[in-house]
């Protein structure tokens, strides 16, 4: 008996990126009608000037479709070429079926493998790591990875410790075969001992029983310490395992958690001034799994990121979980 093993591409690459930005602009002045705060405090503590929430008719599904279509188009492919769809989201309020199965069908990716992952703000990089492995193993040829969130629906708008931070959006990437190395190894991990640091106020059955919603809750200072210590170090390791040096890096696209965290990471990493650093949190807020692809899509659109550039990415958040890799910009 001789089983036929799967056989994949020598290397994988990101072929296209797409972003879906929700229509509703919520500036800090509006935010201060919900919580006792100020534009100055929010900007100084986070860098956020305004954030986006879903408007009329926009959902986590519609944002996913929009971002994925743009990414497939940018990759020069059609939905029929896609054989796997991965969506990272914590805002799809139906446990089954997966959002990915629905989105795959609506995109027209007939018979594609489809599954959701829950890796919060690390979700896009978790998905990219999986996509790279699928392409190199031969389990898939073209994978769409989507990070999509409508955190406004699970954030308590009157909670002073979270309301100003979280936002909505979706971003996507197509990963496919490559003849040359174009994605570094994923560096990822988790620390469930810190599960309570970012979590939900109550499980959904309890929410139903008590007639109260379940919302995101966050111990801000603990997140800050973890992100500026352990995660800054994980970011350095991500660059190291890629085989590149800081001098060879063109772009740094960290999860848009908070500008002060990005600043602290930069101090730790000592990246050269020539590296372009994503700061899309200013306009879009922290939209979790969507933040990295949205930030990268914007850098590509403005011409700050060029095809062939090297890009270091790191996502981190509730779990606690993290994932990062270096990619070549398509
Ligand atoms: C959330 C965060 C901005 C809060 O800042 P902080 O300095 O830790 O806030 P604290 O709760 O210690 O409060 C400090 C002061 O700000 C005030 N404050 C807290 N929330 C406020 C708000 N929304 N608006 C205005 N003032 C606020 C407090 O009352 C306190 O005032 P005092 O010094 O007069 O007593 C900060 O902890 C942080 O950036 N954490 C990381 C969160 C993150 O990035 N999460 C995403 C993970 S994916």
Q: Which of 28, 258, 259, 286 is catalytic?
A: 286
Our answer to whether residue 109 is catalytic in this structure is no
Mean pLDDT (whole number) for 88-113: 96
Shortest-distance atom of ligand 1 to CA 318: 48
Ligand 1 neighbours, Cβ below 6 Å, are: 35, 37, 41, 45-46, 121, 160-161, 164, 218, 220-221, 223-224, 257-258, 260-261, 286, 317
- Residue having the nearest C-alpha atom to atom 8 of ligand 1: 221
From 233, 220, 201, select the one nearest 322 (Cα to Cα).
233
Query: Residue 255 pLDDT > 90, yes or no?
Result: yes
> What integer pLDDT is reported at residue 48 of this predicted model?
98
Query: Residue 135 pLDDT > 90, yes or no?
Result: yes
Domain boundary (178, 203, 231) is at: 178
Residue 276 lies in a domain: yes
Give yes or no: residues 21 and 158 share one domain: yes
Our answer to whether residue 121 is catalytic in this structure is yes
CATH code of residue 61: 3.40.47.10
Q: Which residues contact 53 (CB under 8 A, 6 or more apart)?
A: 22, 24, 26, 150, 152, 167, 168
> What integer pLDDT is reported at residue 252 of this predicted model?
98
When pLDDT is cut at 50, 70 and 90, the band that residue 18 belongs to is very high
- Residue having the nearest C-alpha atom to atom 15 of ligand 1: 41
Q: Containing domain of residue 106, as a range?
A: 11-178
Mean pLDDT (whole number) for 270-288: 97
Mean pLDDT (whole number) for 239-261: 97
Domain boundary (129, 160, 178) is at: 178
Instruction: Reduce the secondary structure of 185-196 to three states and give it as a string.
Output: CCEEEECHHHHH
Total number of domains constituting the chain: 2
The answer to whether the CB of 122 falls within 8 A of the CB of 106 is no
Q: Which of 109, 121, 125, 311 is catalytic?
A: 121
Give yes or no: residues 22 and 161 share one domain: yes
Shortest-distance atom of ligand 1 to CA 120: 48
Query: Residue 171 pLDDT > 90, yes or no?
Result: yes
What percent of the chain clears pLDDT 70, i.e. is strictly above it?
A: 100
Please name the residue ranges forming H helices in the chain: 28-31, 39-46, 60-74, 99-107, 123-137, 204-210, 220-226, 232-242, 259-269, 281-284, 291-302
Mean pLDDT (whole number) for 91-102: 96
Summarize pLDDT for 26-85 with one digit per residue, the tens: 999 999 999 999 999 999 999 999 999 999 999 999 999 999 999 999 999 999 999 999
When pLDDT is cut at 50, 70 and 90, the band that residue 308 belongs to is very high
Cα–Cα dist 269/262, whole Å = 10
Measured in Å, residue 226 CA sits from the centre of ligand 1 at 15
Query: What integer best gives the mean pLDDT of the chain?
Result: 97
The answer to whether the CB of 232 falls within 8 A of the CB of 262 is no
């Amino acid at each position: 008996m001789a089983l036929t093993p799967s056989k994949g591409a020598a290397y994988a690459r990101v072929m296209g990126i797409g972003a879906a930005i929700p229509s509703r602009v919520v500036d800090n002045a509006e935010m201060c009608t919900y919580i006792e705060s100020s534009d100055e405090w929010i900007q100084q503590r986070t860098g956020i000037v305004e954030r986006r929430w879903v408007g009329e008719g926009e959902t986590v599904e519609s944002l996913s479709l929009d971002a994925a279509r743009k990414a497939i188009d940018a990759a020069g492919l059609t939905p029929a070429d896609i054989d796997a769809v991965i969506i990272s989201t914590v805002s799809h309020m139906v446990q089954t079926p997966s959002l990915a199965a629905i989105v795959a069908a609506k995109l027209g990716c007939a018979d594609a493998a489809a599954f959701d992952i829950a890796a919060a703000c690390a979700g896009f990089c978790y998905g990219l790591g999986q996509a790279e492995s699928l392409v190199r193993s031969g389990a898939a040829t073209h994978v769409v990875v989507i990070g999509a969130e409508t955190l406004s629906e699970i954030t308590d708008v009157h909670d002073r410790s979270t309301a100003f931070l979280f936002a909505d959006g979706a971003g996507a990437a197509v990963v496919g075969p490559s003849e040359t190395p174009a994605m570094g190894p994923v560096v990822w991990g988790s620390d469930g001992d810190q599960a309570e640091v970012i979590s939900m106020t109550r499980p959904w059955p309890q929410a139903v029983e008590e007639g109260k919603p379940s919302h995101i809750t966050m111990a801000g200072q603990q997140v800050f310490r973890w992100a500026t210590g352990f995660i800054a170090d994980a970011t350095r390791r991500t660059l190291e395992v890629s085989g590149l040096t800081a001098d060879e890096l063109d772009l740094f696209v960290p999860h848009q958690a908070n500008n002060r965290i990005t600043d602290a990471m930069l101090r730790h990493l000592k990246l050269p001034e020539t590296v372009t650093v994503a700061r899309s949190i200013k306009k879009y807020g922290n939209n979790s799994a969507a933040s990295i692809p949205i930030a990268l899509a914007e850098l590509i659109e403005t011409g700050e990121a060029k095809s062939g550039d090297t890009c270091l990415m790191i996502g981190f958040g509730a779990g606690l979980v993290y994932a990062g890799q270096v990619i070549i910009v398509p």
